[in-house]
Amino acid sequence: MSQAALFKLCGQVQQQKYPYLLKHHLLNITEFNNVISEITMDLHLREKTAIITGSARGIGAAIAKALAEEGVNVVITDINSEAAAEYAKDLVEQGHNAISVGSDISDPESVDLLQKATLEAFGGVDILVNNAGIVRDRGIIKMSVEDWDAVLSTNLKGSWLCSKAVLPSMAQRGWGRIVNISSRAHWGNPGQTNYSSAKAGVIGLTRSLAMEQGRRNITVNAVAPGFILTDGIKSLDHIEHIKAGALEKNTVPRLGEPEDIANIVTFLVSDRAGYINGELVHVSGGRYSG
C-alpha cells in the first residue's frame, strides 16, 4: 500500500485514532508498520521478492501489481521483453520496486539468466508465480506435434524449470512460496488436448513439489482460473456470445477479472496461508462443468 493510500484509508477509518498523522504527516517506519498492521490485513510481504512469469499483461500483470502494492519487489518477466519493460516502468512510476527481464521460460538458459538478474537486483527470490502460458487449440487430428510440444514446453516444462531455478534461493532463506496457475481446463476441453494435459500436469507438479519442499518452509499451491476477462479475451470475435455462454454456467452472476486471480495468489504467498500446501484453488465463479 502506498503512503498516499494509507493516508486516505486512515482518513476514512481512523481519523480519531491518528489525528497527528493526518495533520502533520509525521511518520517513522515503526509507526508506519504499526498503522498498517492495525487498519489492514498485513500479509507481511514487504521486502519480499517475487518473479511473476508472463506478467507484462493480463492475469500476470494483475498479480504483479497486487504484490507490488503489498511492498514486494517484483520481477516482470515475459517473452515480450518490450512490454515487460514498459509495465515495470509503469510500476516504478507508481512508487513500487520493479524490474523487467525478457525471458522464454521454455528455455533453460533463459530461465537461468532470469534467476541471475533477480539475484543481482534483489539478492534472492522468495516468491514465484508460474503464470506464463500459451494456447494452440485444435482437434487432435489436426493438432501437430509442434502444437503439442509448444504448449507443453511453456505451460508445464516452463513451470518446472522456473521452480527448479528458484528453489535453492528459497531454501537458503528458509522461506518460499510457489503458486502455479493451472486452469479449470484440467478437467478436459474439446480442442485442447495439449492445453488440458499441460494444466493437469501443473497440478501434479504442484503436489509433488509441495511434498518435497514443505519441510523447508516452502509451500507450493495452484490456482485454477475460470473464464477471466483479460484484454486478450475481450478482443476475441463474438466475445458477447462467449460471455453469455460463460455466464450461463457460472453460479456467481458475473465474469471473472484478473484481480480475482491476483487476490487469491497474494493470499497464498503470504504468511496467512502458511499452513496451506499442495492445494488447488478454483477461482471460476462456481463453474464446474461445461
**Which are the catalytic amino acids?**
195
In single-letter form, the type of residue at position 85 comes to A
Residue with C-alpha cell 522461506?
175
Radius of gyration of the chain (CA): 20
The CA–CA distances, whole Å, from 66 to 55, 83, 151, 256 equal: 12, 18, 27, 16
Residues forming beta bridges with residue 224, ordered by sequence position = 282
User: H/E element holding 99?
Assistant: strand 98-102
- In the three-class reduction of DSSP (H, G, I as helix; E, B as strand; rest coil), residue 260 is classed as helix
Residue 150 near residue 198, CB atoms below 8 Å:
no
* 98-102 sheet: strands from edge to edge: 98-102, 73-78, 49-53, 127-130, 176-181, 218-225, 280-283
> Which of 203, 210, 160 is CA-nearest to residue 184?
203
Count of helices and strands (H, E) across the chain: 12, 7
32-51 b/e with 16+ CB inside 10 Å = b? eeebbeebeebbebeebbbb
* 219, containing H or E segment: strand 218-225
Grid cell 506464463 is found at 132
Q: What is the DSSP letter of 71?
A: T
Enter the C-alpha cell of residue 195: 492445453
